[in-house]
Amino acid sequence: MITKTVPLKELTTIRQKGSVVLSYIEDLAEIEGKPILIGSGSNVIIKKSSKLYKLSEKFNYIKKRENGLLLVGGATPLKTLILYGFEHSLSCLEFLAGVPASLGGLTAMNAGAFGHEVSEFVEFVKVYDFKKGTIVVRRDVVFGYRTSDIEGIVVEVGLRCKRADGALLRKRVSEFIKKRVKKAHLINTFGSVFKNPSGDFTAGKLIEECGLKGRARNSAMISRKHGNFIVGNGNVDVDDVLYLIELAKGEVLKRFGVELEREVRVL
Ligand SMILES: Cc1cc2nc3c(=O)[nH]c(=O)nc-3n(C[C@H](O)[C@H](O)[C@H](O)COP(=O)(O)OP(=O)(O)OC[C@H]3O[C@@H](n4cnc5c(N)ncnc54)[C@H](O)[C@@H]3O)c2cc1C
């Protein structure tokens, strides 16, 4: 395992201040205990962990099998998969285009957008099980709203894709990206802060109704465009982010009696 001190700016999409000790997992046999894992860092802030683990480039691959089945390594960026789909006329996760995440993170969190979720395309997941110290092939993963019962490291995902025209896929992806840019932000953020509560209102709307859009604390601000996004100044302090999260949570509870659940993970 290669271990280095790495700036958090390079590891987190919100571009966090500070640094952390990071070990790149090459050989799963070298793992001891239950490491704290980071994927592409697109839905995390780092508060508690002084040491993190990340799958190395060895887990960045796509292998094609019969009938649209793709074996995708856990460290593979979503963007690579989407470009692969264009070339091979295969459709699966275009609805997430623009999300700067890895396939491992997307699967473990069952990411979703525009009425679709990753789980719709998952045939099996190869998980490195911490307790057993070996890889387990799971076809029975229980997926929920932005969650799954995966405990361990997603090393490979079997994705069942559909045949589709490459030009059509490009068009669809550019439409999804346009919608995203209009709605929220693509950089200096970690996506949604909270899960949407059940009921008629989204977390973003509830935060907006509390008058919190544009509320800032030093290096971070609740987006003026979308109440459920926090944007950083490119060198964000985790305490500023946590302050705004608690502020939004507290105000929504006070005003609407709704307890928001955090989507972003604090590692
Ligand atoms: C601009 C932007 C837009 C976004 N839009 C959406 C959206 O539309 N829908 C949505 O659902 N999310 C969205 N997100 C959030 C985020 O991309 C997803 O939650 C994604 O699943 C995180 O993947 P990651 O690889 O970045 O994981 P990280 O953020 O690094 O980690 C997230 C969690 O997954 C775990 N994890 C990471 N890799 C693995 C692995 N290989 N095995 C097991 N566990 C792992 C980590 O330990 C952590 O608990 C957005 C984020 C950004 C920055």
DSSP assignment of 224-252, as one string? SS-TT-EEE-SSB-HHHHHHHHHHHHHHH
Query: Residues 6 or more apart from 22 whose CB is under 8 A from it?
Result: 3, 4, 5, 6, 11, 38, 51, 52, 53, 54
**DSSP H or E run through 13:** none
Q: Is the CB of 73 under 6 A from ligand 1?
A: no
Q: Is the CB of 52 under 6 A from ligand 1?
A: no
Q: Is the CB of 173 under 6 A from ligand 1?
A: no
Cβ atoms of 46 and 27 closer than 8 Å: no
- Nearest-atom number in ligand 1 for the CA of 152 is 43
Q: Distance (Å, rounded) from C-alpha 90 to C-alpha 199?
A: 35
Catalytic (active-site) positions: 146, 192, 263
Q: What's the gap in Å between 109 CA and the centre of ligand 1?
A: 6
DSSP percent split of the chain into helix, strand, coil, nearest 5: 30, 30, 40
Q: Distance (Å, rounded) from C-alpha 70 to C-alpha 83?
A: 13
Q: Distance (Å, rounded) from C-alpha 249 to C-alpha 210?
A: 10
**Closest C-alpha to ligand 1, atom 21:** 106
For the chain, domains (ranges, CATH) are: 2-58 (3.30.43.10), 60-182 (3.30.465.10), 185-266 (3.90.78.10)
Q: What's the gap in Å between 67 CA and the centre of ligand 1?
A: 28
**pLDDT in tens for each of the 267 residues of the chain?**
899 999 999 999 999 999 999 999 999 999 988 999 999 999 999 998 789 999 999 999 999 999 999 999 999 999 999 999 999 999 999 999 999 999 999 999 999 999 999 999 999 999 999 888 899 999 999 999 999 999 999 999 999 999 999 999 999 999 999 999 988 888 999 999 999 998 888 999 999 999 999 999 999 999 999 999 999 999 999 999 999 999 999 999 999 999 999 999 999
